[in-house]
Amino acid sequence: MSLPTNQIATFGDARRMILDTIQGLRDGSMEVGRGMAIAANMKVLNDNVQVEINAAKMSLQAQQAGHNFGRVVGMGQKMIGNDKDQQA
């Protein structure tokens, strides 16, 4: 499945959008309000990824200490721009 160029499907796409936002703000082609909205959304995305990383680390540390809370599965595997998830 091919996503339109304006959709974000990978973290590489997200990084490119951040850089495009910075450039757009710098050269005046993007409104400041739009840039701020994009930055806020990117922060939420970053926070979400960090929570997944922290949960995986905690699970590994717990296993090393002899505790088993079960497997951490499916973390980080959800596509950011999956069309069928967006329709719900």
Per-residue pLDDT reduced to its tens digit, 14-45: 899 999 999 999 999 999 999 999 999 999 98
Domain boundaries, the chain: 11-73
Integer Cα distance of 19 and 85 in angstroms: 26
Integer Cα distance of 7 and 5 in angstroms: 6
State both tokens at 84. Answer: 């069928």
Mean pLDDT of the chain: 79
Rounded to 5°, the CA angle 73-77-81 comes to 150
Integer Cα distance of 29 and 56 in angstroms: 40
pLDDT at 72: 61
Q: Does the reported pTM lie above 0.75?
A: no
